[in-house]
Chains A and B, each alone.
Chain A
Amino acid sequence: MESGAELVGRLQRICGAEHVLTHPDALATYRSDGLAHYRQTPLAAVLPGSAEEVQAVVRTCFEVQVPWVARGAGTGLSGGALPIADGVLIVLARLRRILSVELDDGRVVVEPGVTNLAISRAVAPSHFYPPDPSSQIVCSIGGNIAENSGGAHCFKYGFTTNYVTGLEVVLSDGSVVELDRDAPGYDLLGAFVGSEGTLGVATRIALRVVPRPESIRTLVAFFDGTAEAGEAVSAIVAAGIVPGAIEMMDRLSIKAAEEATGAGYRLDAGAALLVELDGPEEECETRFEEVMKLCRGDGLIDVRTARSEQERELIWKARKAAFAAMGRIAPAYYVQDGVIPRTRLSEVLRRIDELAAEYGLQVANVFHAGDGNLHPLVCYDAGREGEPQRAEELAGLIVKTCVDAGGSITGEHGVGVDKKAYMPAMFSEADLDAFQRLRCAFDPHGLANPGKVMPTPRLCGEVPGPYRQHPLERAGVATRF
């Protein structure tokens, strides 16, 4: 085993000394991702400038059996890009070329460091790339692939996985594999997207893009409470309408967002429902009229429709600002990402209210109402004795409430380090073992982003052949399952 200094020297020869960071000050930026309360300083952060350099870095790590973590823009909200102490952080920020735009084939090919929004810009004005996580201005497509990112428009348009048609992936042994949607064989592309950086690192990405909708109509309806707004959502879905986006905010998040943006949201409302329809003009108009009618049920206070692009942007501004605005309510918050079957919304929100009262904490709710993806924001003050712990416990109970209702612990943020402890609430030991089979097929040495997703460290048994003790096992760090 060579020393850290020797490894750093090799990485410098691959990427150039200026692209290998080791000084604690230089590494400070990279100690955490968007979930800043998890921090770790890696041995080095390397910024390769080409796919070949990525491959050489990964191969070097393999040769010395040092684990590594790939990082895009670091906006992830589950600690998926949290570095490993004594490991290497591979930062893809320099790989930001758009390699080709082929609109006749409805396709673009990009490097992993390209931002999500840059893809839509590259194919504008005729086309766009639908998955639109809130961080789309800065988040990278490589990170979107790792997390299978969604966004406000995925109820209608689907997720990252529905748009990736090809990948060039560097596996943890440094070999390069092409995964193509149309190639015969196992759908390894489908298995890779959303694997949170644990199966390899994508260095080239082919994506499907689609025509930009002809017409977009947006409204925000204000209701007495979330139950009434939920009824409107049910009515819209039951009418066979699939809005481009359908987002709900509760009283607390309306208050925070309105104070931050002055977007004109009604502070006397218990819930705001943002509905956006898009599509061919005639269809959009007809359906929009229907949605307006369906919103006029019990508990409606007011409906506002956007009459211009500026008004539409204003309506969205409040929704998009909701997370950041929460600073006005409390100095800190835990954001959860649980999913429930949409029809259980009222009962789950009631349960969250009960839990919040029990814990003496405020919980704001902002969610993708079409697909039941909740984003409860558990507010707390770290300066108050015991409050962070209470908030974390409450956040955990909310996740479990979602699972008990038949849902999921995470809809779009990923498991990472943040939710791995909740995996057993959703999956049995046999299920986790099946996940590990896939992991071992791609990365038998466990070098790619170890310690994420799975609730406990696991190693890969050899298939087939005699048992050999893994170095981590010898060191007592991990056990075999």
Chain B
Amino acid sequence: MARQIAPTSFDAALAALSGAAAGHQSVRIVGGATKLGWGRPEDAPEVEIRTAALDRIVEHNAGDLTAVLEAGVPLARAQRQFASAGQMLALDPFLGPSQEATIGGIVSTADAGPLRHRYGAPRDLILGITVALSDGTIARAGGKVIKNVAGYDLGKLFCGSFGTLGLILAVSVRLHPLPVATATALGVSDDPGTISRVAITLSAAPLELEALDVAWRNGRGGILAQCGGAQARRRAERVARVMRKAGLGRVQIAGQDRELWARQRSGQRSADGALVRVAARPSALDDVLRAADACSATLVGRATIGHSFIDLDPEALGTLANRLPRGAVPVLLDAPVEVRGAVDPWGPLPAAPALALMRNVKARFDPANACNPGAFVGGI
């Protein structure tokens, strides 16, 4: 059983991390504990540092569209505060059954939802970062202004690093205005080719969509395009016309679209099956849909970015791997632990020079190899 520590200050967090490292103990950092199953199943950590008590919204500079959040702030809480000023942090991954996902955990796993279409991933919204390193250092990179190129962009380096480089203490982020209204155009087809073609058409059109998602289930799929702004409804009508013309059926517009998008977000996780995130060329969407269909899987994804989240029976993982188009990059996120132990969830190893570089980075930032050892790509 891991020794659990819930530091209440940056110094205490640093002491917990560097103390464990000095004692050659392995450390796992836990935020809302919603994604603990991701990555390689490593040995049980000896120390678990929980960020729950590092939960201050340090700054919300509404006029500057920026905020500074401690790592343990649940994103849902921060969003409520931002919304009161008509703003949002444009990150909308699935936040867990009780919305407990923290900003630190979301940044560490580079998790994102449908809004990635327009606003990007955590890497695109993070302005600065404060981290504790295992050798007893607290370091800061970036800043808290929207535009800044001073120094290396360590914020991006820590995005998606799965707690293997150090402990994220706080991040500064860019905010965006909440759209004054939203409306979603949606349509369906049972032909992956049609869905793919419509997705490409909409991606290439000057529609400035908030999100452009695809969904597939039981041999039928659909496209959802969200418009946001003062003229959201009129714009959605225009999108609907494009959808009809391009061959989608049952095209409609949802003015109340909150539930629709909540379903897309929850489709990115699997409670009892396996969930594979696939990155592929957007133009290969039809092949990805056919691969999912061959596995009787459910799929949600970002059409323009080429990211699909495929929920399937773990038994079908081999079939999926064989059917995915060339160049597709699968990563196994959710799966029973015995499944994750039997395959490398990160997929094929990166090419040797890239992996060597990653190992160099790990060795420089966490020379004691204390931070989440073994969980990451290539056993880092």
Does B190 sit within 8 A of A, measured CB to CB?
no
Does A438 sit within 8 A of B, measured CB to CB?
yes
Does B1 sit within 8 A of A, measured CB to CB?
no
Does A188 sit within 8 A of B, measured CB to CB?
yes
Beta-carbon contacts of A139-155 to B below 8 Å, as 1s and 0s?
A: 00000000110100011
| Cβ B66 vs Cβ A341 within 8 A | yes
| Cβ A240 vs Cβ B66 within 8 A | no
CB distance from B281 to the nearest CB of A (A): 5
Does A270 sit within 8 A of B, measured CB to CB?
no
Question: Which of B29-37, B69-77, B287-295, B349-357 lies at the interface with chain A?
Answer: B349-357
CA separation between A171 and B351, bound complex, in Å?
14
Does A467 sit within 8 A of B, measured CB to CB?
no
| Cβ B357 vs Cβ A177 within 8 A | yes
| Cβ B234 vs Cβ A187 within 8 A | no
Contacts of A339 in B (CB 8 A): 143, 145-148
| Cβ B358 vs Cβ A341 within 8 A | no
CA separation between A147 and B151, bound complex, in Å?
11
Does B363 sit within 8 A of A, measured CB to CB?
yes
| Cβ B361 vs Cβ A188 within 8 A | yes
| Cβ A171 vs Cβ B133 within 8 A | no
CB distance from A467 to the nearest CB of B (A): 14
Question: Which of A22-30, A35-43, A245-253, A421-429 lies at the interface with chain B?
Answer: A421-429
| Cβ A195 vs Cβ B152 within 8 A | yes
Report if A105-B283 is in contact (Cβ < 8 Å); known contacts: A280-B206, A283-B208, A410-B148: yes
Contact of A441 among B61, B160, B306, B364 (CB under 8 A): B364
Does B6 sit within 8 A of A, measured CB to CB?
no
Contact of A211 among B206, B358, B377 (CB under 8 A): B206
Contacts of B150 in A (CB 8 A): 408-410, 415, 419, 423, 426-427
Beta-carbon contacts of A104-125 to B below 8 Å, as 1s and 0s?
A: 1110000000000000000000
Task: Kindly identify, within residues 220 to 271 of chain B, every residue whose CB is under 8 Å from any CB belonging to chain A.
Answer: 229-231, 234-235, 238
Question: Which of B20-28, B50-58, B134-142, B313-321 lies at the interface with chain A?
Answer: B134-142
Task: Kindly identify, within residues 337 to 351 of chain A, every residue whose CB is under 8 Å from any CB belonging to chain B.
Answer: 339-343
Does A453 sit within 8 A of B, measured CB to CB?
yes
Does B309 sit within 8 A of A, measured CB to CB?
no
- Total number of B residues with any Cβ neighbor in A under 8 Å: 82
| Cβ A343 vs Cβ B147 within 8 A | no
| Cβ B353 vs Cβ A106 within 8 A | no
Contacts of A268 in B (CB 8 A): none
| Cβ A414 vs Cβ B149 within 8 A | yes
Task: Kindly identify, within residues 281 to 320 of chain A, every residue whose CB is under 8 Å from any CB belonging to chain B.
Answer: 282-283, 286-287
Does A433 sit within 8 A of B, measured CB to CB?
yes
Contacts of A182 in B (CB 8 A): 279, 306-307, 329
| Cβ A439 vs Cβ B64 within 8 A | no
Contacts of A214 in B (CB 8 A): 206
| Cβ B153 vs Cβ A193 within 8 A | yes
Q: Which residue of B lies closest to A185 (CB)?
A: B377
Task: Kindly identify, within residues 358 to 380 of chain B, every residue whose CB is under 8 Å from any CB belonging to chain A.
Answer: 358, 360-365, 367, 376-378
Contacts of B143 in A (CB 8 A): 339, 406-408, 426
Contacts of A410 in B (CB 8 A): 148-150
Contacts of A175 in B (CB 8 A): 353
Contact of B357 among A213, A423, A442 (CB under 8 A): A442
Q: Which residue of B lies closest to A162 (CB)?
A: B124
| Cβ B154 vs Cβ A191 within 8 A | yes
CA separation between A342 and B307, bound complex, in Å?
35
Does A242 sit within 8 A of B, measured CB to CB?
yes
Does A477 sit within 8 A of B, measured CB to CB?
no
Report if A191-B350 is in contact (Cβ < 8 Å); known contacts: A234-B63, A240-B180, A430-B138: no
Contacts of A415 in B (CB 8 A): 149-151
| Cβ B231 vs Cβ A283 within 8 A | yes
CA separation between A184 and B349, bound complex, in Å?
9
Which range holds the interface residue count of chain A?
35 or more
Task: Kindly identify, within residues 49 to 95 of chain A, every residue whose CB is under 8 Å from any CB belonging to chain B.
Answer: none
Contacts of A426 in B (CB 8 A): 143, 150-151
Does B156 sit within 8 A of A, measured CB to CB?
yes
- Residue in A105, A187, A287, A368 with the greatest tally of chain B CB atoms within 10 Å: A187
Contacts of B206 in A (CB 8 A): 211-214, 279-280
- Residue in A161, A283, A370, A439 with the greatest tally of chain B CB atoms within 10 Å: A283
| Cβ B145 vs Cβ A407 within 8 A | yes
Report if A187-B160 is in contact (Cβ < 8 Å); known contacts: A106-B304, A280-B207: yes
CB distance from B179 to the nearest CB of A (A): 8
Contact of B63 among A179, A279, A343 (CB under 8 A): A343
Does A264 sit within 8 A of B, measured CB to CB?
no
Contact of B64 among A161, A193, A241, A341 (CB under 8 A): A341
Report if A185-B354 is in contact (Cβ < 8 Å); known contacts: A433-B139, A435-B141: yes
CA separation between A109 and B203, bound complex, in Å?
19
Does A431 sit within 8 A of B, measured CB to CB?
yes
Known A341-B66, A412-B147, A438-B361; further 19 A-B contacts with Cβ < 8 A: A106-B282, A171-B357, A184-B331, A184-B377, A188-B354, A190-B156, A191-B153, A194-B153, A211-B205, A237-B65, A280-B208, A339-B145, A406-B143, A407-B148, A408-B149, A411-B147, A413-B149, A426-B150, A434-B141
B interface residues, Cβ below 8 angstroms from A: 61-66, 86, 110, 120, 123-124, 131, 133, 137-141, 143-154, 156-157, 159-161, 165, 176-180, 200, 203-208, 229-231, 234-235, 238, 279, 281-283, 304, 306-307, 329, 331, 346-347, 350-351, 353-355, 357-358, 360-365, 367, 376-378
Provide a sorted-by-A list of 13 A–B residue pairs whose CB atoms are within 8 angstroms.
A161-B124, A178-B354, A183-B329, A194-B153, A283-B208, A343-B63, A408-B149, A409-B150, A431-B139, A433-B139, A434-B140, A463-B363, A463-B367
